[in-house]
Amino acid sequence: MQELAIGAYYRVLTHSFRTEYQFGTTQYGTDEFHVGGDDTNSQWNNYDSRFGSIITTIRTTAEEPWDDKYIGIGLANQLIQSATNIESSNPEIKNIALGEGYFFRAYNYLKLVRQYGGVPLKLEPSNTVELEFTRASAEEVLAQVIDDFTQAYNLLNNSGQQPHRISKDAAAHYLAKAYLTRASEINDDWNSSTKSADLAQVVALSDEVIGNHPLASNYQELWRYTQPDGANEFLPELILSASFGRDAALETYNHQHTHFTARYDDLPMMKRDLTGMRPYSRMAATYFTYDVFDHVNDSRFWKVFRTKHRVNSGGEFGGVSYTPGVDLGIMYVINSADDTRFASTINNNDPSILYSATGKTIPHVFVAYAADGVGLMANPRWPSLSKHFESDRTAINDNRGMRDEFLARSAETYLMAAEAKIKQAAMGTGSYADALPYINAVRERATYKSGEDRAYYEDGAESYPTSTFSQPFESNSYMNENSYYESNNIPVTTAATDLTIVSTAVLPDEDEAIISTLGYSSEYDRMLCLILNERTRELCGEWHRWEDLSRTQTLVERARAYNPEAAPNIQDFHNLRPIPQTFLDGIYANGSPLDASQKQALQNPGY
């Protein structure tokens, strides 16, 4: 049973990260990311005629995420039944393994209900072929999820807590998430009788978890990855992670470092290298993602987006000779909309733009807001999100990553509590200002500290010395520097400005601009918008976004405003995914395959 639990850890928490459905179902089709230079899986972003119960793609089919979750549920059901029935009183079985079983089942069903709404509830192992299934309601599924997470919470403990094992705090975090889901807008047709109590539970559980998981002192600590099982993978802030390691026999590879990476290796002076990552170029940040940050005072953008690449091929370009390992080859300027300093964005060899360290022009400069209006949408160039980067792989084109993926950390717990406080205020309990201490705790950590070097940058490329592949330093395109000063056009300074929000009436300028674009006016809509914006600033690219927008019923308006490929196609029914055709074609009713009308009755509206 303990070995079954270990296998379930892999299937439930880890397996999706070797797939492309992981980003397709959580990041595509939102306000944060859109289709990059490679449109593989673009159906999941574009909501076009190719997106339905059958999805034809070389990577992610409609049924892959559905099937994966039900395989995990099958393992969980076996674990729950076996650990319940065994005569042994061993607490490692009766409490730990059983608690893990309940957690795994709840985790999978929470994913399913947030993606599809009501789904079939299967709570016993299958010992024979079963063909007849009906969909439970979302209300019934969430009731089961909450019961299972509660069982896990009661059975598990925090002894020897580490993020690689499910703990009582992990159960509490996800139980709070389940309560928040039930209290969210997508369920407002039926959740009125449970909403008040659910929101109180969110706050109580979140406070419990927050007390045990202090935030890392510097946002950079979370992403300072130097080797598998290194220091950043055991920070107290981390509640639960999908665990990877060096043992090749396990084949638990993490592929997510490839999907956020923009092309760099097809430009003059540049070549593909271990520290630059293999650029699958699937996802590009949207202008919402650029503009939601205070780029002067909020460190989070500059600590997780790679905005400079060192020349690593060399030669002559534009009449200038460039030295590998020394000269700056690519720079992204993420500036403000009123900045008119730059007239062009491609192959910018303007002598007025110099790299201060060498005094040479920069061969390739790409600007978010350029005077000619080209920007970062016209070509596959954008600063890559580096939260998942790693250079400990065995070869330049090796996709088999070993870096853990953070599933839950207390920064998100703070923001769940804040959202619950906002929803409570809307129901007449407390005030909207009650959310601010939770929000400000996260923003305080994000603020540049006095004396901090704002141009300093590091990411998972720091792990390249541990790779078995030998790469000369001059071949590295990675460098410990960002474009903070070039983008903001300000002198080098160490003055720190607090990001604290002191009033719900006057929100930060970047939030007010987004609120204006989306046309919000009520205090509730303004504060919910603030929470969703703060979730991007803190959790961008961490596999939450689509479900957060879907459950709060803000997906359509935000995708229309910020995602260029999704905007023409997205409709209200896209707040739920299509039930896969393979499931509908495979099940029976009263001993016979379903006919067309029966299949349509089981399908989500609109598909």
Torsions phi, psi for 354 (to 5 deg): -115, 150
pLDDT of 273-303, one tens digit each? 999 999 999 999 999 999 999 999 999 999 9
pLDDT of 100-147, one tens digit each? 999 999 999 999 999 999 999 999 999 999 999 999 999 999 999 999
* Residue boundaries of the structural domains of the chain: 2-179+576-602
Helix (H) or strand (E) holding 423: helix 410-426
Q: Is the pLDDT of residue 469 over 70?
A: yes
The confidence score (pLDDT) of residue 345 equals 64
Quote the tokens at residue 152: 């896990």
Quickly count: other Cβ atoms within 10 Å of residue 33's Cβ. 29
* CA 151/CA 581 separation, integer angstroms: 34
Q: What is the CATH code for 2-179+576-602?
A: 1.25.40.390
> Whole-prediction pTM value?
0.97
- By the 8 A CB rule, do 43 and 51 touch? yes
- By the 8 A CB rule, do 585 and 593 touch? yes
90-94, 162-166, 231-235, 294-298: least confidently modelled range? 90-94
The confidence score (pLDDT) of residue 495 equals 77
What band does 587 get if pLDDT is binned at 50, 70 and 90? very high
| Mean residue pLDDT across the chain | 95
* CA 101/CA 96 separation, integer angstroms: 9
pLDDT of 339-355, one tens digit each? 988 876 666 677 778 89
> Is the C-alpha dihedral spanning 477, 228, 156, 139 positive or negative?
positive
Q: Is 48 exposed, middle or buried, given 0-12, 13-18 or 19+ CB atoms closer than 10 A?
A: middle
The average pLDDT across 560-572 equals 98
pLDDT of 299-328, one tens digit each? 999 999 999 999 999 899 888 999 999 999
Q: Is the pLDDT of residue 184 over 80?
A: yes
* CA 391/CA 459 separation, integer angstroms: 10
The confidence score (pLDDT) of residue 246 equals 78
